[in-house]
Amino acid sequence: MGQDEGGKGGKHKNFVPSKGLTSAEASNLLQIHGKNELEEKVTPSWVIFLRQLYAPMPILIWVAIIVEMAIKNWLDAAILLCIQLANATIGWYETTKAGNAVAALKASLKPRATVKRDGKVQTIDGSLLVPGDLVLLGAGSAIPADCIINEGTIDVDTSALTGESMPETKYGGDEAQWGSTCVQGEVEATVTGTGKNTFFGRTAALLGDTNELGNIQKIILKITAGLVIISITLCAIALVYLLKGRNQDFIEALRFVVVLMVASVPLAIEIVTTCTLAVGSRNLSAMNAIVTRLVSIEEMAGMNVLCSDKTGTLTLNKMVIQEDTPIFMRGETRETVIRSAALAAKWKEPPRDALDTMVLGTADLPSLDVYEQLDYMPFNPKVKRTEATLKGPDGKVFKTTKGAPHIILELCENKREIANEVNARVNQFGLRGIRCLAVAKSDEGDRWRMMGVLTFLDPPRPDTKDTIERAQKFGVVVKMITGDQVVIALETARSLGLGTSIRGVQGLPSLGADNKIPKDLGKNYGRMILDCDGFAQVFPEHKYLIVEALRQIGCSVGMTGDGVNDAPALKRADVGIAVSGATDAARAASDIVLTSPGLSVVVEAIIVARCIFQRVKSFINYRIAATLQLLCFFFIAVFAFNPKDYQPPFCPGKGEPELYDSRWRHCIERHEKKKLEEDGWPEFFQLPVLLLMLITLLNDGTLITIGYDYVIPSQNPEKWNLKVLGLASVVLAAVACFSSLLLLWAALDSWRTHSLFQRWGLRPIEYGQIVTMIYLKVSLSDFLTLFSSRTMGWFWTQRPGILLFCGALISLGISTIIASTFPNVEFEHMPIAGLAHAGAKYKMWTLWVWLYCILWWFIQDGLKVAVYRLVVKYNVFGVNKGKEVFVKAPGKEVLDPVGNDNDVVTVSYSRASGKAMATQFKEGAAAATAQDTRLGREIGARYEVGEDGQEYLSVSYSREAGAAIAAELRAEMLKKSGATPPKYK
């Protein structure tokens, strides 16, 4: 059962067909070779959970917990520990949820195999196959492993491996590979390779796992690192100032800065982002798109070039007979030609190949029952046609045949009269990418006459053209990549509105002798590839290099594919998309797996991805602004405000003389038993840890609902511009911070005469209420900033999602209730009292804080709008470049050679006559019949309109590849007087 190293499809020496294994033998071989499936690294659930505890942000919380425990502040340590575990649990849950969905998809797609074990034929899980197994291959079944056919003949669809759409005939001793499908015949075969030792198992192994961070992960890491550095720096400066400038106790000062650092850094930035992406993943799953890598959703939002496979994605992957049917026998019609073609098949049996499926699916089969099939000759590669002997209802015996036009033409007795017309029509159809099937009928004297030519092609999906137009409206350029001939690709692209410039394989880059990517790939080929509408006759390495060249010139590339040959390009693309029915290798290399056919779901996924991008961007914009607001407020407050400097005198107790000072509106009432230093205001302003953590928890809890926020997807690809994002965040934070500092100063100063509060008619406010007032102000500003950060315009131009709005209302309500009703106590060594607590003399502070925040919210939003408009108008930080849509350069000639000075031979074929016109020879040009041998060696092709109004297909060949063609045309020009070459508009 050894394999010949000569490659696939060859005969294998010393091959011994299997007779079947016993269960014991299969079990032993399974232990040796492993399961017949692609190896996949699975991260245990507990490891995912632990990763949530030792990432950079959690480490910072652990440091804070250790500090709090060291100073025996058990309450604060417990609060921080709860936050740590809650964050880890949410992160673990959301990370594993999407992975479970993918696992469920793969489980549903597990193949089955029919084997002979213990002398019995049985169906088993395909992953349990082992080398030496005897498997049964029949029409419609997938090849379950690499195997060698024992004897007999089958037709195998290898399109998933090679991209070739027509089945390949396999004989006894030939190898059939895992990933292909049997379409005709039934044979026994011996398994020779399983799992990683198969063709596409080795291909998948070459893909590797780079563990490269996704773009969104890099963005979050960069933002988080910047905010942490700012936080640590400012907190360290504040700590030194409190110790040296204010002579504060070390424990109290350290406790303050540690808690401030934890509260200011974006603890949940990765969790909220993951949750938002996970929600988007579930939305895509409902649309038949399974996300295997969450961060690819963000990358899809920025995709501006989509390279799509043709067969099965843009087209139906099913041959369909067209209306255009040339007739060469008087009295015949399209219907009678189809009927005769069906008679040349076993119409009472299941179709034996793709052509039979096409013909029998179109013919009126019940009408054929009046004929009796006396004899039948099936298709074989040598004869290249089928033939049937029939007896009609009138008792007359005749024959029908169908096959390649030139084969059928040779049978016909009148071939001389019709040869030129048949060849011209066939060539004409060929130039339009349409294939032909000739049908002939004999009389009682066995004289064959051509009835007509059926035309067929793999038509585009009904929704493909509209889908492409929709993609283009959203700034995504679609490029077709196929293994078919250039002219077929050109006609498909033309019918879909993709464009009419197709480049063949000879104009594309290739890997060097060392299998490395050519130097300056993007510089030499990038623009040319971008200017093409599609590529034909490509091999896997070309797909990979096309993607790489586009990425090197700044494109964000999506790639669709289904076969093993597509896997490297899928892996290299920014977004790899495995289409419906893709092989395991293609799915393993992809970021998104489609479970329904066609391209429409990809466009829907792009729209969903842009909505998700908007949500993530809004959150990050808000998170930066909220962090800067909180951090800068307390940092500036430590330096700018010493509450003791604003503290009024205490009211005299019993037996003490009354004091009068014109600087103060009132004195502070205090219990006569308490000492002055116990009742005095602190030397720097701070909030209790509980209130700071409440701000963080309520904000992050609300922000998890941002995954369900209502957004309007951008019409252009989305790109991160951290400079613009940072500028907007700074503006939002600056307004919120300034208004908080202004309110703190006004509240501290409220006891003085001529204070701002006195001018507004407000009474002085107790220090304990100042604490809850600032808590409420910071909390309200945070939530209102969230609504401002969602849009570049005014906040009311885009309504929020219901869940986000309700979450914000609930959190605002909780903050308001806490700030209003907090009891009048000493908490964490500082006085604190609710704005409307039971003993408060004035209970309207909550209303005033709300009005104050709303006023500054409008000011904040107005400044944001003004900044965005200036940034866009003057393209500050290249903000407009992020919306760039890649389009073809006007007038760009895509058929010129690239990277060398080779001459180009161009042949223009008239689509009306099928004639060829040589257009680049000084001697002139001559008409010549287009030869089939010229097709398949093209650099590229395009459609042009001549001055005569006719449409021409111009095909270009390189000097090397076109040498024979040039010689043919020159010889023809010596024999014929040249016509004037067509000039193009």
pLDDT digits (tens, 9 = 90+) for 80-93: 788 778 777 766 77
- 917 sits in which H/E element: strand 915-918
- Minimal CA–CA distance to 460: which of 478, 475, 476, 473? 478
**CA gap 38, 53 in Å, rounded:** 31
Count of CB atoms situated within 10 Å of the CB of 462: 10
pLDDT beyond 90 at 454: yes
d(CA 337, CA 340): 5
Fold topology of 23-193: 2.70.150
pLDDT digits (tens, 9 = 90+) for 183-199: 777 889 999 888 878 87
185 contacts: CB under 8 Å, gap ≥ 6: 137, 138, 139, 152, 153, 154, 155
Question: Distance between CA 160 and CA 31 in Å, rounded?
Answer: 29
What's the CA gap between 455 and 629, in Å, rounded? 70
Nearest to 765, CA basis, from 827, 831, 815, 826: 831
Question: What average pLDDT does this structure show over 50-72?
Answer: 77
Top-confidence residue, 815 or 890: 815
The residue type found at 48 is I
- The pLDDT value recorded for residue 291 is 82
Report the C-alpha gap between 309 and 583 in whole angstroms. 14
309 is catalytic: yes
As given in the structure block, the two tokens for residue 310 are 């043709």
pLDDT at 819 over 70: yes
Kindly state the greatest CA–CA separation across the chain.
142
pLDDT exceeds cutoff 70 at 485: yes
Separation of alpha carbons 781 and 859, rounded Å: 12
The torsion angles phi and psi of 682, rounded to 5 degrees, stand at: -70, 170
CATH number assigned to the domain with residue range 320-457, chosen from the 4 options 3.40.1110.10, 3.30.479.30, 3.40.50.150, 3.40.50.970 = 3.40.1110.10
- Using CB atoms within 10 A of its CB, is residue 752 exposed (0-12), middle (13-18) or buried (19+)? middle
Evaluate if residue 984 carries a pLDDT over 80.
Answer: no
Question: Residue range 549-560: average pLDDT?
Answer: 90
Of the candidates 157, 309, 700, 861, the residue annotated as catalytic is: 309
Q: Which two tokens stand for residue 372?
A: 């009796």
- Over residues 220-261, the pLDDT tens digits come to 888 888 888 888 888 889 889 888 888 888 887 887 888 788
Q: Residue 512 burial (CB < 10 Å; 0-12/13-18/19+)?
A: exposed
**Global pTM value:** 0.72
pLDDT given at position 514: 63
Mean pLDDT over 313-340 rounds to 89
Q: Which of these, 226, 224, 246, 259, lies nearest to 634 by C-alpha position? A: 259
DSSP code string of 889-905: PTT--TTS-SSS---EE
For the chain, which residues make up each domain, given as ranges?
23-193, 215-277+608-883, 292-317+460-605, 320-457, 904-975
Class of domain 292-317+460-605 (CATH, top level): alpha beta
Please check the confidence at residue 936 and state whether its pLDDT lies above 60: no
472 pLDDT more than 90: no
Give Cα 352 to chain centroid, integer Å.
38
- Reduced 3-state DSSP string for 523-567: HHHHHHHHHCCEECCCCHHHHHHHHHHHHHCCCCEEEEECCHHHH
Separation between Cα atoms, residue 497 and residue 481, nearest integer Å: 15
Whether residue 647 contacts residue 765, with contact meaning beta carbons closer than 8 Å, is answered with no
Burial of 598 (0-12, 13-18, 19+ CB in 10 A): buried
Q: Who has greater pLDDT, 967 or 71?
A: 71
Report pLDDT for 730: 95
What is the arithmetic mean of pLDDT over 877-905? 52
H/E stretch holding 623 reads helix 600-640
- pLDDT bracket for residue 853 (50, 70, 90): very high
Average pLDDT over residues 652-666: 65
- Which pLDDT belongs to residue 579? 85
Rg (CA), the chain: 38
Average pLDDT, the chain: 79
Q: At what angle do helices 722-748 and 600-640 cross, to 10 degrees?
A: 40
Q: Please state at what angle helix 215-240 crosses helix 600-640, rounded to 10 degrees.
A: 0
Strands 305-309 and 477-481: parallel
Mean per-residue pLDDT, 646-665: 69
Q: What is the pLDDT of residue 205?
A: 53
Query: Contact 534/543 with Cβ under 8 angstroms?
Result: no
Domain 215-277+608-883 belongs to what architecture?
Answer: Up-down Bundle (1.20)
- pLDDT, one tens digit per residue, over 347-386 is 988 786 778 889 998 999 999 989 999 999 887 766 788 9
Partners of 175 in the beta sheet?
148
| Averaged pLDDT, 341-346 | 93
- Quick: pLDDT tens for 763-798: 888 888 999 999 999 999 999 999 999 999 999 999
User: Rounded to 5, what percent of the chain is helix, strand, coil?
Assistant: 50, 15, 35
Task: Select the highest-mean-pLDDT range: 105-119, 635-649, 667-681, 957-971.
Answer: 635-649
3-state SS record for 5-70: CCCCCCCCCCCCCCCCECHHHHHHHHHHHCCCCCCCCCCCHHHHHHHCCCCHHHHHHHHHHHHHHH
Phi, psi of 792 (to 5 degrees): -85, -20
